[in-house]
Each structure stands twice: as structure tokens, then as C-alpha cells.
Amino acid sequence: MRMNPWLRPYISSYFWRFVIIVALGALTLLTASSLMYTSGYLISKSALRPENILMVYVQIVLVRTFGTSRSVIHYVERLVGHDTILRILSKMRVQLYRILEPQALFISSRFRTGDILGVLSDDIEKLQDVYLRTIFPSVIALVLYIISITALGQFDVRFALVMALYLFILIFILPWISLWVTKTKNKQAHRKHGRLYQTLTDAVLGMSDWVISGRPSQFVHTYEQDELELARIDRKLSAWSRWRNLIGQGVVSVIVVSMLYWAGQQYAEGLIPSTMIAAFVLVIFPLMDAFLPLSEAVEKIPRYQGSYARLEELDNSVGQGKVAINREHTEMLISKEETLAVAGSNAHIRIDQASYRYDATAPWSFENITLNIPQGKKVAIIGRSGAGKSTLLKLIQGAIIPEEGTATIQGVNVDQFGEHIPSLIAVLNQSPHLFDTTVSNNIRLGKLDASDEEISNVSGKVKMDSLIESLPEGYMTHMHETGQRFSGGERQRIALARVLLQDTPVVILDEPTVGLDPRTENELLSTIFETLQGKSLIWVTHHLVGAEHMDEIIFMEKGKIEMRGSHAELMETYPRYRNLYHLDRPKSFFKA
């Protein structure tokens, strides 16, 4: 398997621990072999009815010693092995977090949440199997192979070479064939799975067409054929697994018979006593526990390669993508102190002729956008899905760098603020995450050192203090998973309290009222506009409820600004805007 940055550094860092693990693993099997060797000798010697128990006393003691030490050494080997792997897993999680955390906005724009969670929950965890089930067993088997052939060569070099050939089949040839067969069949199965899911998706989306055309039986037949083909591939994999085990056991049988014949010949020639025949034969079986599982261990390599490829792709995408931390497009990032000094209370945002696209061959996400948002200005960005609104928000937050034009806060490129952007810009989106902890802890995320009085104060501003204080445990009430203890509007108010506690000069409202009923929506917007007085508001929305309270409204379509102006100006100038506004039929609950 190809070495990469997710594997090589840990092998280097824990090299001597790996050596100890391999040594303990080999010693475990050697003690098991010694146990069988001594037991065979003891049984044969006892069968000759020695005149005194002292004639076999040493062998009895050795049997007990090897039997006990095997278990102890195996326990220590597993303890050291799992401790080492858990240390590596911990460091890999930190490594992944350091990649994801600084560029969370950029990554979420390029990857689906499921992909990231898959990396976290599956690909990283597979490292444990890479070491414990493939690397360590393979190295241990190779060490025992060398030791076994060397030891046998002390008795008979020619027979040692014959046994080396037999074991070579188990250690190298059979695993290689198994890897090739499994890799080929897995590729076929992967393609069939893809076709099966595509067929099923098409059927679900177009079932009415199948029924109307009178061809549901044709679909069922096609789907069943694909399922049968996939089942045939699975049966072939299972059949190969059985054949592989049969071949392995056949080679072991040949080794046992060969050893028995050779030991008998050695005894006939007077080179070894008869009591050694059983000892030489029995020593084979523990060694086979190291050699036989190799084929199954090697079969998993393609699965590991897929995991490492995804991790490396994520690493490269973040490292080479258009992210704020790319030193080819930005100057040295400024510190938190410099951030607060530059724009701590007066964050004047300017976007000048900015254009951006995610790929050189892709269409522009937005093009030639110019915005001027002095401190305290309220701007609504309106447009249908895909108009470029979300990408524009990422530009304002420094998650992406414009391919053309500039984006600045107080004259400083937005991307230079890096991880300190949360000191300037807070975000209230349509589904803020509320953790399964207390109400107080969820609000305190806006300011970790906030006092209980500050939390109570912001709760009052968002009109949640009475409700929270009426609960049996007050601010110590647990919100349950994703805040399910409260309604949608109440969850948004708690998230708004968190934003108020964060106290940034700029607040982005990313469709915070989606999914709320009209009355709750109007009440929440009224609270937002009332509590965020003096802050710059950038409100992204699909519709026009509350638009009359904004200083400027920008209507985007296909990455360009189609209309802009105040609500009154747009109502007077653009018939299209008037129609859209009346379609929303806003019923204002706002205060003048």
C-alpha cells in the first residue's frame, strides 16, 4: 500500500513501539510453538514409561511455563498495540481537525456534510485495522518465516529450503492472488451497486411514467437482473474465500505430512530420538496461526487505500484550493489584537468589482459585484437558489478569495483576518446548532467568560427571559439534542441571544426565519431589528417579508445584481419587484 502523509509520519514517530509490538507478537507465537514442541516431546517420552517421574519433570515444568507465558505475553502485546494505535488515532483526529476547522466555511461549500462525517467516523477509524489486522500480522509472519527456516536449517538445509517453498506459498503467493481476485471483484461490485442505486433512484422519481407507459414489469425485471448480477459477484467472492481456505489448509496438510516423513527419516538414520517426531510435527500448528490469516488481512488493503485517498484528497483540496490561508493570494494574517484595533467597533465592508467561480471551467458564481456597507447599514440580498447569495456571504467572511476584484473591511483584505473573523462577523442562519447541554451554556458560546448577569440580560433582549426563568431549572435547563425542548422560534431567539453576547459589529442573517409560521417569523424579525440596532446587517433571504426595514435591497440572479435600491425606490421603479412583494403579501408586525 502506498505510503502517504497520513501513514508515514506515525510509523516514524512510533517506530520503536512498532518494533516492540512485532517482537511481542512473534514471541507470543514462539512460546505457543515451544508449548506444542515440549508437549509433543512430553507425550512421547511418557508413552515410553520412564522409570522415574524425574525423567520428564523438566518437560512438565516447561509445559506450564510456556502455557502461562504465552497468555501473559499475548496480553502485553495487545495492551501495547492498542495503546499505540489509540495514541495515533488521537493525533490523526487532531490533524484532521486542524485541516477542517480554520476553513470550515470553504470546506462546507465544496463538500457535502455526509462526506466530512464519513471521513471522521469511518476513514480515520480504519487506521486501527490497518495496523492491527494487516501491518503487524504481516511483519510478524515474515519474522517467524525467517526464524522457522533458519532453525530448521540447523538440522537439514535441503529440507529447510523445501519448507521455505511451502511457506512462501502461504505468505506471498496465496495473499497476492487473493488481493488480485478481491480487488477485481470489488470493482465489479462497486459498479453494479452504482447502477443499482441509479436504477432505483430513476424508478422512484419516474414511477408514474413507468406505470403510465404500462411497463412496470419491465422495470422490475431489469432491477431483478441487476440484483442477481450483484448477488453472483458476492457468491464468487464467498466461493473464492472458501477455495482460499481450502488451498491454505491443503498446503498445511502437505507441510505436516512432509515434516512427519522427514522426522521419521531422521529417526531412522539415528539423527534424532523417537520422542522428537511428535515434537517436530506439533510445532507446525501454532506457526500456521501466523501464516494462514495473511491472505484475509491483505484482502482489506483496497478498502484502506480508498480511505487514505479520500483523506489525502481532502488535505490537497484544502491546501491547494482558493482558501483564505493560501499565501499566494494573501499577505500575512493579522492577529486578534490587530483585528480588534482595525475593525473592532467600526467594520466598513467594501466589495469592489468582485468575481468568483469554484473552477476555472465553471460559470461565475457571482460576477462584477460591488457593495458598500458602512457600519450600521442594513442590506438585504434577495434571489432564488443558485443566484450566488451564499457564495457572496463566504466572500464577506473571508472563506474564499475573489478571482477578480477585492473584498475589504476597513481597507484590509477580508481574508487577512483569518480565524479572527468571528470577532467581527456573527452569523444567525436558518438552523443554528444548539447542543445537548444547558440553556446557559448554549448562550455562553457567544462569549465564554460571560457572567450569569450578561446571559440574563441578552435573554431579556430577545424576549426569552420570562420563559427560561419559568422552567423548573431555569437557565440550567437542558435543551436536549439540537434544542428539541424548544420550538423553532424559541431556538432562533436563543441563537440570537448568543449572537448578541458575541457583540460583533457585523451580523449576517442567513434566512433565519425559514420554516417558521408567518406570525412567528414577523415577531422574530421584529426582535432582530430591534436588538441589532447600530450593527451592520447583511440579510440573505428568498422572499420580501420585512424588506421595507432595510436600507438597501439587492436582487441577484445568475451571479449578477439585477436590481438594487431601497424598498421604496424598487417599488416605484421595478414592476417585477412590486409583483414579488405583493406575492409575498407581507403583514407587518414591525414597529415603525
- What is the model's pTM? 0.57
pLDDT of 323 > 50? The answer is: no
Q: What is the pLDDT of residue 590?
A: 46
Provide CB contacts within 8 A for 148, sequence distance 6+.
163, 167, 287
Per mean pLDDT, which of 217-221, 370-374, 386-390, 420-424 is the most reliable?
370-374
Q: What is the pLDDT of residue 147?
A: 93
Q: What is the pLDDT of residue 93?
A: 78
Q: What is the pLDDT of residue 261?
A: 93
Query: How does pLDDT run across 409-449, given as a tens digit for each residue?
Result: 888 888 777 777 888 888 888 777 778 788 888 888 888 88
Of 175-184, 325-334, 539-548, minimum mean pLDDT range: 325-334
In whole angstroms, give the CA distance from residue 262 to residue 512: 82
pLDDT of 201 > 70? The answer is: no
Residue 498: exposure state from Cβ atoms within 10 A (0-12, 13-18, ≥19): buried
pLDDT of 259 > 80? The answer is: yes
Q: What percentage of the chain reaches a pLDDT higher than 90?
A: 19
In whole angstroms, give the CA distance from residue 219 to residue 83: 53
Question: Residue 501 has which C-alpha cell?
Answer: 453576547
What are the chain's domains?
Answer: 8-320 (1.20.1560.10), 433-503 (3.40.50.300)
Please state whether beta strands 425-429 and 506-510 pair in parallel, antiparallel, or not at all (unpaired).
parallel
Q: Give ∠ CA 384-389-390 in degrees, rounded to 5.
A: 115
| DSSP-derived 3-state class of residue 392 | helix
For residue 123, give the DSSP letter.
I
Residue 154: exposure state from Cβ atoms within 10 A (0-12, 13-18, ≥19): exposed
- Separation of first and last alpha carbons in the chain: 68
In whole angstroms, give the CA distance from residue 107 to residue 98: 12
- How many other CB atoms are found less than 10 A from the CB of residue 214? 8
